[in-house]
Every structure is written in structure tokens, then in C-alpha cells.
Amino acid sequence: MDLSSKRVLVTGGDGFIGSHLVELLAGKAARVTALALYNSFNNWGWLEDLPCLSDVSVVTGDVRDAHLCQELCRDVDVVFNLAALIPIPYSYRAPSSFVDTNVAGTLNMCQAALRAGVSKFIQVSTSEVYGTARYVPIDESHPLQPQSPYSATKIGADAIAQSFYCSFGLPVTIARPFNAYGPRQSARAVIPTIITQLASGREDVSLGDTETTRDFTFVKDTCAGMAAIAGMDGGCGEVFHVGSNFEISIGALFTLIAELMGSKAGIRHDESRKRPENSEVLRLWCNNEKLAAATGFRPRTSLRDGLTATIQWFREADHLRRYKPDLYNV
């Protein structure tokens, strides 16, 4: 499917990945509607800064509202469902909020998309659904392990979406990105945590578990992978990974970022930043061969190049002031 001139809806368009996806789709001449979470300030999140904003229709609302979802999906060709609560530590505090948004919100979107007769429904998942890897690299057949309320609700959301494919023929494909990073990422993630503390001149950077490993993918590659999934022929009812096929420990990641920023800072281990023992995902490493075989897509940005671009963005004063490096943002 050629996405140019297609009517595309991006829920969660005001967020980190969502705003980059909106930017990519607008660049492909898609007719993009972006859903931003309603707030009384009429703030559209990261969409506010997009140079292509004049080419995007922004709607404020909430996927927990089934009636709004029906309106959003009317006359839409492709849906990218990114709307979700994502901070894992916050899911320990407010699990019911995650169920309401991630599971019930996805149900609302699936029902609306089915009624509207959309051509493609891309349910955006997360590698957190796998928990600690039982084998590596992780392929799409790896068992699901809900090690946090967040991951449990994303497993539930994916299951709801897949059930609508099996039960009603909704053309659902699951895009399962591994750890995206880049400009505009929230402070709760580890890479902004490291960069903002170093940029503020901290001599010791507070981190949790530094032995865990992750597969980091530059956000522009993540979005390009999701666009490739939407554009492919077939694939309905299937899961496709978007990842780099490279793992790195958080400790080694810190060393690389410190090198790129010219810092001699050390690590201060902060127990409050660690997950409960059985909830910590110790290892994630993506097998990205299925998507490559289906579409030819592979990430183009090396970790070093992606981090360099990310550091440059965070170092700009107007960007850095949005973050609070002295606070642990759950």
C-alpha cells in the first residue's frame, strides 16, 4: 500500500514516537489526523514543534471515549494505534489506569475501525511483552511474560486487536518495536535520563540496574519500520519486530554517552530507580529478520550516530529546560 494521499489516523500522535511518525507520514504526503490527549491548556505535546504541523489535522480527546473513537475512524484508510500509558514504574502505582487506556482504549479503537471499514490497523506493541529473554535474539514466537502491569496491559491490548482479526476480519497487524530512543523522548527513559544529568553538569549520574541489556533503535528507524509494515501487502494477523538486532548493557550505554559528551562522570546506583526483582526485564535483543524478509526494511542508524543526534537535540537550551534532571520521573 502506498501511503501517499491515504487518510491516516495516528492515536498518541502527541507523544515521542507518535510525533515522529506523524512527521514521517506527512513527509510521505499522507493525509494525517493526529490524536492528542485532551488537556485544558490546549497543548498538543510534541506536535507543537513539528514544521509540518500545518499539513496535519490535530484532534484532542481520549481513546477511553468510545464515541470519540467512532468519529476518529470515520473515512480513515489506515490506523496506527499508539495511544497508551507507558511508564513502567507508574504502572505499579496506577495499574487500573493502564487497563483503562491500553486495553479498553484499544478495544474502543478496534470496534471503531471495524465499523468504519479501515484498510489497515497497525497495533503498536512493545518488546516489554516478552519479559526477560528466554533465548536470544528474540523472534516473534518468543513466549509472552507479563512482568509489570504495563506489559500485562500491552499483552492484553495486542490480544484484543488480534482477536478482532480472527473474529471479525479486522485487518490488524502488530508492530512490536524494541526500545526506541531519540529527540523528544520523555524523561522516564534511560537515555534521556543519562543525557540530561550529564548536560546539567552532574558529576555522578543516578541510575538503577546497569547490568540489564536492551536493543535500542533510533526513533526515525522505528517509525520507518512501522510505515513499512503498513505499506506491505499481506501480514494481517501477524506480528513484526522493529529493532536493531544489537544489544548493549545500560552500563556500556552510559560509558558510550559519556564519551560522546566528553564527560568523566561516574554512576551512582540509586535503589529507588530499580524495578522489583521479579519485574525487572534483564535482557532484550531483537531478531528483526521477519520484517526484513517481508519488506526489505532494516534500521539505517547506528547507535553511535543516533546517540550523537539525540545528544545534540537535548543540549539545545530550549529543549533541555523542559526536563528536570534532578528528579526521578517515573
What is the distance between the alpha carbons of residues 67 and 61, in angstroms, rounded to a whole number? 10
> What pLDDT is recorded for position 325?
85
The three grid cell numbers given for residue 116, joined into one nine-digit string: 468504519
- Check if the beta carbon of residue 283 is closer than 8 Å to that of residue 234: no
User: What is the per-residue pLDDT across 137-191, written as a single tens digit (0 to 9) for each?
Assistant: 999 999 999 999 999 999 999 999 999 999 999 999 999 999 999 999 998 899 9
The three grid cell numbers given for residue 302, joined into one nine-digit string: 547506528
CA 222 to chain centre: 8
pLDDT (average), residues 302-314: 98
User: What is the per-residue pLDDT across 203-246, written as a single tens digit (0 to 9) for each?
Assistant: 999 999 999 999 999 999 999 999 999 999 999 999 999 999 99
Query: Check: CATH 3.30.479.30 for 7-180+217-242?
Result: no
Banded pLDDT at 329 (limits 50, 70, 90): confident
CATH architecture assignment, domain 183-214+246-320: Alpha-Beta Complex (3.90)
Among residues 51, 11, 68, the alpha carbon closest in space to that of 34 is found at 11
> What pLDDT is recorded for position 19?
98
Beta strands 179-181 and 216-218 are: parallel
> What pLDDT is recorded for position 326?
79
Residue 50 has pLDDT above 90, yes or no: yes
pLDDT (average), residues 321-325: 89
What is the distance between the alpha carbons of residues 263 and 258, in angstroms, rounded to a whole number? 5
- Check if the beta carbon of residue 3 is closer than 8 Å to that of residue 199: no
Per-domain boundaries in the chain: 7-180+217-242, 183-214+246-320
What is the distance between the alpha carbons of residues 317 and 80, in angstroms, rounded to a whole number? 32
pLDDT (average), residues 108-121: 98
> What pLDDT is recorded for position 21?
98
What is the distance between the alpha carbons of residues 267 and 206, in angstroms, rounded to a whole number? 6
pLDDT (average), residues 300-321: 96
- Check if the beta carbon of residue 124 is closer than 8 Å to that of residue 82: yes
Among residues 36, 39, 40, the alpha carbon closest in space to that of 19 is found at 36
